[in-house]
Structure 1
Amino acid sequence: MGKLIGIAKQFYDDENGAAMVEYSILVGIIAGAAILAIVAIGLWVSGRFGGLCDILDGKGSTGVAGTFGTCIKGTGVGT
């Protein structure tokens, strides 16, 4: 019986599992923040290229139709 109590006390005092859970939560938060940053940057770049395509097609505020070429916004292919 004393051996069982000793094992139970050792299990109760062991904090390795709690530290692992804390580090797992921290890694999850960092990964989530990194994913959000990458998505935000991707959307920003996509918007900038979309604006460039509009200018190339003459739809932008500085573009003149037919002067700068064309751009297919969905594929990003231009002439």
Structure 2
Amino acid sequence: MTLIAKLGGRLAREEDGAALVEYTVLLGILVVAVIASIALIGTWVSGQWDTLKTDLCAQDDTAAGCT
């Protein structure tokens, strides 16, 4: 039996092992939520910058970045 299988079996039998698995799953869910939040906020911020650029270029089309 491999070392990983032995360790997994021992963790499954022990109460501390079950708690470790639960905390690992919880950490995974939190990491996914944080990454999704960063992606959504990044998309929103990008849209806000594009809107600002469009508005500024509408007022003065000779400004830097307006082509």
Question: Where on the TM-score scale, by shorter chain, does this alignment land: which range?
Answer: 0.5 to 0.7
- Structure of greater Rg: 1
What is the rounded CA distance, in whole Å, between the counterparts of 2:40 and 2:64 in structure 1?
A: 24
Q: Which runs of 4+ in 1 moved over 3 A?
A: none
RMSD between aligned residues: 2.3
Whichever structure has more helix as a proportion of its residues is 2
Q: Residues 8-50 of structure 1, C-alpha deviation per residue, up to 9 Å, x if partnerless?
A: xxx5752111110110000110111011111111110110010
Q: CA deviation at 1:65?
A: 4.8
Unaligned runs of 5+ in 2: 1-9
Higher relative contact order (CA 8 A, sep 6+): 1
Per the normalisation by structure 2, the TM-score is 0.66
Unaligned runs of 5+ in 1: 1-10, 59-63, 74-79
Per the normalisation by structure 1, the TM-score is 0.58
Query: Structure 1 residues 36, 30: closer, same or farther in 2, change over 3 A?
Result: same
State the percentage of identical aligned residues.
38
Q: CA deviation at 1:56?
A: 1.3
The equivalences for 1:45-60 within 5 A come to: 45-58=45-58
Report SS of the residue matched to 1:36: helix
Whichever structure has more strand as a proportion of its residues is 1
Which letter maps to 2:63? Answer: T
Question: How many residue pairs are counted as aligned between the two chains?
Answer: 56
